[in-house]
Amino acid sequence: MWWLAVKALVSGAIVAAVSEIAKRYPGFGALVASLPLVSVLGMLWLWNDKPDAANMAAHAQATFWFVLPSLPMFLVIPVLLRGGMNFYLSLALGCALTVLLYLLMVWAGPRFGLKL
């Protein structure tokens, strides 16, 4: 149980750090947020819990394919905000787009031979 608490604290500290950095330096905060820190930490936690190379390779590959549908959100939200839309609505629409694209990836990926 303590290991779960450590994982949650480290992961939460990264999110808090990104938020604090972005307050002062939006570009640098974006750089830190764009780093695959969550993915790397997830792989470290997974490897610690289940050191299986085949499982880790499958996880890393699936992560790559799931990053792609999340990218358009980072283009849609700024366009909506610059167009005068409310932040929360812009965020909700960006997230909804991402969910739709994730569903499309889950449906289409295996049809193209991707193991997700």
Q: So where are the chain's domains? A: 1-51, 53-116
Quote the pLDDT of residue 1.
Answer: 80
Confidence band (pLDDT; 50, 70, 90) for 35? confident
For the question of whether the overall pTM of this predicted structure is more than 0.85, the answer is no
CB-based burial of residue 21 (10 Å sphere; 0-12 exposed, 13-18 middle, 19+ buried)? middle
In the predicted structure, residue 31 carries a pLDDT above the cut 90: no
Rounded average pLDDT over 42-51: 93
Quote the pLDDT of residue 102.
Answer: 96
Segment 59-63 long-range contacts (CB within 8 Å, at least 24 positions apart)? 61/115, 62/115, 62/116, 63/39
